[in-house]
Structure 1
Amino acid sequence: MKRVLSLILATGLAIGVIIAIVLGRGASDTVTVRGVIGSEKLPFFADPAVRDAFARHGLRVEVDPAGSRQIATTVNLDNYAFAFPGGAPAAEQILRRHGRTAKYAPFSTPMAIASFQPIVDVLAGAGVARRGAGGIWIFDVRRYLELVEKGTRWDQIRGNTAYPVRKNVLVSTTDVRDSNSAAMYLSLVSHVANGDAIVQGAEAERRVLPLLSRLFLDQGYSENSSEGPFEDYLAVGMGKTPLVCIYEAQFVGRAVTGQIRPGMVLMYPSPTVVSKHTLVPLNSGGDRVGRLLTSDPALQQAAARHGLRTADAARFAKVVAENRVPVTADLVDVVDTPSYGTLENLVRGIEQGYGPP
């Protein structure tokens, strides 16, 4: 009996050792990969489903948020495995600066305007807002710029009893000196200000710069993260932020989590631009992250839940249908961004208006 008991104990001990070895090996095989990302993607990377998906491939992905222009120009990338700004122009600059060629664009999102129904009704009366196909609200950039050129205040819009405040009609943005969302907004308004053409060359830059500067300088203080003004929109309401330039994904993602309240409205600028979230791998670990974001079904599904459009349009369509988010399925009125060099010239021109820090 003692011998049988000894054999059982020995067998149990051996099994325990094997389990410990296997578990220990699994823990030691997990590789930590660190990247710097546009702040708008922070909720995605913090999602437990995203962490679990990476873990199944032996990766622990840690990220630091920063403005996309900062990532492209001032952030020291030496200690990162990948850089993941919010737009293609910033990614192209990173590729040039670091002599890289590989890149991944796992998802994209168009720029949009978040507002409130009373504000939209006022803008409709002024010819700035109108209903498009499927009842989607369209924000007419040309009519908006006409109001800005005249220095129109909200209380000067005829028939405005919903928001008769003594401040200029302006879309709130992030700081154009730091943030990709502001650079995307700059891209679309510059296209309209330049006679519906991409800004190219010094003469065109000089011609549009005075109006573009007003769009940003007249806002006063702006945050360098796209989450900042959108959080104000969600928490404070239209008193502080009647119009805010956002990524469509931000609105859809918050609708999925039940944070979009009745009366909050998503509008699409006409024209708009699409922000292609482009990952630049800086080593083999970063390359693995880029490949997985592009190809792993669980990560692609998580991206759709966060409001991001992937190569499989059906995923995004299913998410917005299930959560009854009024979005435009087919993006038609889309323009290209200027070159990175042109955007930099415009940003530097606007920057001069801010004065010394």
Structure 2
Amino acid sequence: MSKKTIGTLIGTILLVVVIVIGVLIYTSNERNPAITIDGLVGGEKIPLLENEKFKKIAKEKYNTTVNFAKSGSIEMADRDIAELDYLFPSSQVAEELIVMKQGEHITKSETVLNSPIVFISWGEIVDAFEKQGIVQKENDAYYIVDTQQFLQQIIEGSDWADVGLPSLYGEVSIISTDPVKSNSGNMFAGLLANMMNDGKVVTKAELPTILPVIEGFFIKLGYLENSSGDLFEQFLKTGMGAKPIIAGYENQLVEFATQNQETWERVKDNICIIYPKPTVWSEHPVIALNEEGERLIDILSDPEVQELAWKEHGFRTGLSGIENNPEDVNLEGLPETIKSIIPMPTPDVMDEIINRLK
């Protein structure tokens, strides 16, 4: 075969490849015409949606631009959503509250991400708690030994000096976001209610006894942030004196360690995740309000996006068949699985708790 013939053959093959790629792109675009979708998103997921890799996958594979505004997950149930395509709250409870109040607008929903509620604290506090028997280390992860007893101790007004930390002022506290507006605070309130109900899921019948305790706990905390992202930022900025322990999402510290590697190397020995036993899952469902909004479910279910969500943002998968390896992220002490879980109270019970805390 002559060089001219070989050259012609190669040129023909390349032309065919270009045509096939063009047809595939055209077909994909016909199936997924270019759209821009707008919605409300819990603050902890904004870094994922702002990630250039996410934007590229959404644009190149799904022909979609994802716009969003930050909103507390609980607030979404009462927002005007007429002009929106999707909601992206941070728990099944928030989702069910939205269904209760705005169900007629929903076309589809699916949980795509997960993150447990954890306590984030400082090395000095964790060391003191370990000496006091409040915290123990298991396979490099820290756990509250008896979450019910620990929270009861806080409710009864134990001082920091009582747990070996006289340098900290006042009573022991765990600071959350506003449970009326933000999901992480709402889920912490649900966990607290369960623990004050002898470690059992609280029901409406038990609320008259539990509600004053929950109300008293949150009143003592004073002003609370409306977003878990804002609370975590304040935790980092104001330090141990102002924010000794916060309740937040596991993914927040994973994300910080991954996105700020130089800073993390300097502070990693002084910031710790503590897992309450039991904890509650924060499930992150996409709630589509129309056909366009349903495309976000497809994007976030994409294996590439799921991998990105874990490795760079610390979200555990919400989909079956996908595993999360702790060795993939830049944070030691993560358990491979979260085993000690208690269900949240039902949405009608949480609605009563929210109304009491307003």
Shared fold (TM-score, shorter chain, > 0.5):
yes
Contact 1:255 1:325 in 2 (8 A): no
* Matched-pair identity in %: 25
Could you list the per-position Cα deviations for residues 150-176 of structure 1 after superposition, in whole angstroms to 9, with x for gaps in the alignment?
21111233x435xx2231111010011
Deviation at 1:207, TM superposition (A): 1.0
2:277 match: 270
Q: TM-score, normalised by structure 2?
A: 0.84
CA distance in structure 2 between the aligned counterparts of 1:349 and 1:212, rounded to whole angstroms: 9
2:219 match: 217
Q: Give the 3 Å change call, closer, same or farther, for CA 338–81 of structure 1 in structure 2.
A: same
Instruction: Name the aligned partner's letter for residue 186 of structure 2.
Output: A
1:44 match: 48
Instruction: Name the aligned partner's letter for residue 47 of structure 1.
Output: N
Deviation at 1:336, TM superposition (A): 0.5
CA distance in structure 1 between the aligned counterparts of 2:130 and 2:149, rounded to whole angstroms: 11
CA distance in structure 1 between the aligned counterparts of 2:80 and 2:217, rounded to whole angstroms: 30
Could you list the per-position Cα deviations for residues 164-196 of structure 1 after superposition, in whole angstroms to 9, with x for gaps in the alignment?
223111101001110000111111111111011
SS in 2 for 1:35: strand
CA distance in structure 2 between the aligned counterparts of 1:344 and 1:32, rounded to whole angstroms: 33
CA distance in structure 2 between the aligned counterparts of 1:270 and 1:135, rounded to whole angstroms: 15
2:350 match: 343
Q: Does 1:176 align with 2:183?
A: no
Runs of 4+ that moved beyond 6 A:
none
Structure 1, gaps ≥5 residues long: 1-18, 352-357
CA distance in structure 1 between the aligned counterparts of 2:75 and 2:337, rounded to whole angstroms: 32
Deviation at 1:101, TM superposition (A): 5.7
Aligned length: 320
Contact 2:75 2:181 in 1 (8 A): yes
Q: Give the 3 Å change call, closer, same or farther, for CA 237–98 of structure 1 in structure 2.
A: same
Q: Give the 3 Å change call, closer, same or farther, for CA 190–101 of structure 1 in structure 2.
A: farther
Larger mean CA deviation between 228-237 and 191-200 belongs to 228-237
SS in 1 for 2:324: helix
Could you list the per-position Cα deviations for residues 281-340 of structure 1 after superposition, in whole angstroms to 9, with x for gaps in the alignment?
00111111112212x12211221121001136765315x445243111121110101111
Deviation at 1:50, TM superposition (A): 0.7
Q: Give the 3 Å change call, closer, same or farther, for CA 206–278 of structure 1 in structure 2.
A: same
SS in 2 for 1:78: coil
Contact 2:107 2:288 in 1 (8 A): no
Could you list the per-position Cα deviations for residues 205-237 of structure 1 after superposition, in whole angstroms to 9, with x for gaps in the alignment?
111122212221111100110111211222222
Q: Does 1:150 align with 2:152?
A: no
CA distance in structure 1 between the aligned counterparts of 2:119 and 2:321, rounded to whole angstroms: 22
SS in 1 for 2:178: coil
Deviation at 1:126, TM superposition (A): 3.3
CA distance in structure 1 between the aligned counterparts of 2:329 and 2:220, rounded to whole angstroms: 39
Contact 2:140 2:334 in 1 (8 A): no
Q: Which of 89, 99, 123 pairs up with 2:129? A: 123
Instruction: Name the aligned partner's letter for residue 92 of structure 2.
Output: A
CA distance in structure 2 between the aligned counterparts of 1:143 and 1:121, rounded to whole angstroms: 19
Taking the TM superposition and a 5 Å limit, the aligned residue runs for 1:70-219 are: 70-72=75-77, 74-96=78-100, 97-99=102-104, 100=106, 102-132=108-138, 134-139=139-144, 140-157=146-163, 159-161=164-166, 164-201=167-204, 203-219=205-221
Q: TM-score, normalised by structure 1?
A: 0.84
Q: Which of 242, 245, 248 pairs up with 1:246? A: 248
CA distance in structure 2 between the aligned counterparts of 1:224 and 1:247, rounded to whole angstroms: 14
Deviation at 1:89, TM superposition (A): 1.1
Q: Give the 3 Å change call, closer, same or farther, for CA 313–151 of structure 1 in structure 2.
A: farther
Instruction: Name the aligned partner's letter for residue 317 of structure 1.
Output: N
Q: Which of 279, 285, 309 pairs up with 2:286? A: 279
CA distance in structure 2 between the aligned counterparts of 1:219 and 1:160, rounded to whole angstroms: 19
Contact 2:254 2:329 in 1 (8 A): no
1:291 match: 298
CA distance in structure 2 between the aligned counterparts of 1:149 and 1:225, rounded to whole angstroms: 24
Structure 2, gaps ≥5 residues long: 1-21
CA distance in structure 2 between the aligned counterparts of 1:236 and 1:312, rounded to whole angstroms: 39
